[in-house]
Amino acid sequence: MKNYDLNLSDWGPYNKEYMGVSHIADKEKGVRFDFNLFPGFYRRSVLCPKDICDSGTKILKSSADLSHFVYRYELMWKDEVYIDADFKCDENGKMTVECNVVNNTDESQSISLNGCASIKFPTNYRNDLEITEVEDDLNWVDAIDYTDIKTNKTLAQDGLKLAQKRVSNFVGANALDGLSFDDGFVEYKFIEKSTDKIFIRYSSQEDFLILVEINGNFYKKICKKSDEITNLPIEINEDKFSKMKVYIKKSKCLIDGFIFGEVEFNKYTDKFMPLISEYDKKVILKYAFGTYVISWDCDDYVIRELVGRDAGQILTDSIHNHVSRKLGGNGKGHYADIFIRPIFVDAKSSKKIIFNIEKNNAKSKSVNNDFACKISNSDGQKYKLSQDIMRATTLTNVVFPIYCKQEYIRHNTPGRLWDSLYTWDSGFIGMGLNTVNSLRAKDCLNTYMTEIGDIHSPFIFHGSVVPTQMLLYLEIWNKSTDINFLNEFYPYMEQYYNFFSDLPDKDTILSKTFEIFYNSGGWDDYPPQQYVSDNNLKDKAYPVITTAITVLCAKIMKNIAKKLNRDYTKYDNDIKKLTLSLQDKMWDEKTGYFTYVINENGKIRPLKYNDEINYNMGFDGIYPYIADICKDEQKKRIEENIENGLFTKYGVSVVDTRAPYYSKDGYWNGSIWMPHQWILFKAYLDHGRGDEAYRVAKCALDVWKNEVDLTYNCYEHFMIENGRGAGFHQFSGLSTPVLMWYDTYFVPGNITGGFQTMFDNIKWNDDMSGVEFDILNTLENSKVILCMNENYNYEFFIDDEKILPKQITNGAYEIYAKFGKVKVKQYK
């Protein structure tokens, strides 16, 4: 069975509500132990490190394996009074939390610190789930454990199976959804049974008919409407059987499973209370899922219990309760609160508080506590802080549990706001991780690859259907040139590609994914897309990006297939077919952009704003340029539009600022985002436009630096009106191009080309002052950027012929790419 989990420690920053540290208490059940810090000014305030908004908790540093990371809790901005919490796990599974309480003011300060321990259970998009388990499953068959299915669904999302739905109170929080069937069936195979009754466990908003086939005999049952989960017997007349087929008509029923004898059901999400044993500067918490021992080095403390769902709410509401040892709040839950107070810190001084946390019988695991950092050339030093914080944010944006393929996994999230899988963001997350640690990048890619022949989904779907995993596949190869990796993942990527290749319909030979998700390019409020959604045109409208990026993917796969000596006829055919269709139906001569089209009964027309002007003056309209399928005059027009309509003081706008539907306050429309800018940057290298590529990168890096240096936050997007950050404050997902641009131009040891350039056999010397590599595929006049150690002068050769590079930064050089072996060596 394929693994979808990340190869990380059981300890990590996996919390979902408050910043802190977590331990995987029971992986099979998705149970997490949390230890959260709630600092404050004693008897005055509490800082609740809520992850959903900027609460004053900042991510500063992290090791690649998450065994060591640092958060800053800002009590008085900026860096006046704060706690730097250093979380470090050793190879024996012991977590040490060293809290450095710093007072940089001219006045003494009274500080308090709550260390809150709790058990947390799986959620569904940040909503609590009540989860039932079966004590002895010999007499139980779960409804989603079918061996065959006929359903009205062709694609399952969110790592689920066809017809599966996540529902509270069901076994494993899973049900078979009756709305997924017309005249369908599910088939089950199991250990041989002998019984005269089968109980169906279900709930339903209406009566429904179920037909069970066993050994060729049919048993019919009308199941009555039931808001509560109920067990209904179906009488059968069979001696022994090990297979049954269940026929279901479309209905508002949810089927939990089938009972063949005595079965006991328990709700494990109610088991959050520990048995607490208190000792001197130590507490032992015995949960149903394991025992945790917490010790500390401070004499002034009290151990309290917070009873309720939300520790932050309880601590805030009880700020002036100085007596009670048990504090209550709303909802279900429990926190053991180690309340350290008061911590008196003199002016211009600091104090340390240390917690040690161990789980009984913890597993040993090798760790690397070294922080992930980069050594840049001198002109990249000004970006250091903003890069360090983004690197740490990208590494630590991992949550547990996420449900995927019937297991609970650790998952690289765009940010803790998104308690879910997320396909298009994850491609960019992986590319960001690839700048730090190739194993983390491969893990990220692996999570989204399903088993070959998976009947439920060809890859893991959630959100915008943009094939960024293909770009990640290429990036990992071009950085590592690891042939084993390329071979291992090729079958997965071929299956991934085939999904996009099969999308074009026969009438238009164009692609769309609006029936899967409303968002074609990740750009939520992109004007024509918004119009399609508002006017229910999803069955008729075709964006440009889906067809164009399929062509780009075909070109990438063709080059990789050639490297692996595989047949690439299919890719060639797709490139020709889709290019012809795009050119024939989507070019708008008037505006110099490609256009959305509407197919009405075989008649194709462009989508126009107010029936007057192309509705697609924006990034979607330039994607054929990115895929390199434009005619020369189209290229020229698009490049003029980028320069005069899309490029702004703070970067490349998603929508042409001259368009009548441009907005200055939209989420994407009116904002600067990094992902499509990076895709344009790569296309610029393909087209040989190195100056424009550098302009995109430099502008983005400067905007990023200004905001992160000021706030210590990593935002989603930047407002075109003033260049200030907005959106989620600890976002890595789509903002990781800043890590890649930094590597390209300022970190020695990096080689960057366009999408249609492939490298091989990269060999750097120890101090990045010499390199040789092969260029396997490239376009005529395309550019490659090499970042070298700035302390030397260099000579550049391709196939032993000397070439003249263009120096861009202190150590970055641009060359024209052509097939052959590149060598760069020092000269004096």
Helix (H, G, I), strand (E, B) or coil at 293: strand
The reply to whether 688 falls in a domain is yes
| CATH code for the domain in which residue 279 is found | 2.70.98.40
Quick one: 186 and 208 in the same domain? Answer: yes
The reply to whether 377 falls in a domain is no
Which of 342, 359, 376 represents a domain boundary (last residue)?
A: 359
**Which residues, other chains included, contact 334 with Cβ-Cβ below 8 Å and sequence gap of 6+?**
118, 119, 272, 273, 274, 305, 306, 307
Quick one: 262 and 279 in the same domain? Answer: no
pLDDT at 730: 98
Quick one: 251 and 355 in the same domain? Answer: no
pLDDT at 382: 99
Q: Where are the alpha helices (DSSP H) in 414-508?
A: 423-434, 438-447, 468-480, 483-501
The model scores a pTM over 0.75: yes
Which of 244, 269, 294 represents a domain boundary (last residue)?
A: 269
Instruction: Scan for tokens 């990023």, then name that residue.
Output: 704
Tokens matching residue 735 = 């903002």
263 in Cβ contact with 140 (< 8 Å): yes
| CATH code for the domain in which residue 444 is found | 1.50.10.10
Instruction: Scan for tokens 């997490």, then name that residue.
Output: 32
Quick one: 241 and 277 in the same domain? Answer: no
Angle between helices 690-711 and 737-746 (to 10 degrees): 120
Tell me if the bond preceding 78 is cis, omega within 30° of 0. yes
Instruction: Scan for tokens 């990249």, then name that residue.
Output: 380
39 in Cβ contact with 75 (< 8 Å): yes
State the DSSP code for 322. Answer: -
Quick one: 100 and 247 in the same domain? Answer: no
Buried b (16+ CB within 10 A) or exposed e, 631-664: eeebeebbbebbeebbbeebbbbbbbbebebbee
244 in Cβ contact with 214 (< 8 Å): yes
The reply to whether 594 falls in a domain is yes
Angle (CA) 222-224-229 rounded to 5° is 120
How big is the chain, counted in residues? 828
Quick one: 508 and 636 in the same domain? Answer: yes
10 Å Cβ neighbour count for 540? 18
Quick one: 106 and 175 in the same domain? Answer: no
Quick one: 222 and 263 in the same domain? Answer: yes
Quick one: 205 and 280 in the same domain? Answer: no
Judged on CB neighbours under 10 Å (0-12, 13-18, 19+), 418 is buried
User: What distance in Å separates the CA atoms of residue 552 and residue 756, rounded to the nearest whole number?
Assistant: 9
pLDDT at 364: 80
User: What distance in Å separates the CA atoms of residue 634 and residue 670, rounded to the nearest whole number?
Assistant: 25
> How would you list the strands of the sheet with 725-726, edge to edge?
671-672, 717-719, 725-726
Cα separations in angstroms, 326 against 322, 329, 427, 547: 11, 10, 46, 60
Which of 341, 359, 377 represents a domain boundary (last residue)?
A: 359
- In the chain, which stretches have pLDDT less than 50? none
Q: CA nearest 486: which of 497, 477, 495, 478?
A: 477
Q: CA nearest 703: which of 737, 654, 661?
A: 737
Quick one: 104 and 213 in the same domain? Answer: no
231 in Cβ contact with 201 (< 8 Å): yes
The reply to whether 137 falls in a domain is yes
Domain count, the chain: 4
Quick one: 688 and 808 in the same domain? Answer: no
Residue 698's domain comprises: 394-737
The reply to whether 382 falls in a domain is no
pLDDT at 55: 95
The reply to whether 374 falls in a domain is no
The reply to whether 385 falls in a domain is no
The reply to whether 388 falls in a domain is no
Quick one: 171 and 242 in the same domain? Answer: yes
Q: CA nearest 673: which of 635, 712, 699?
A: 699
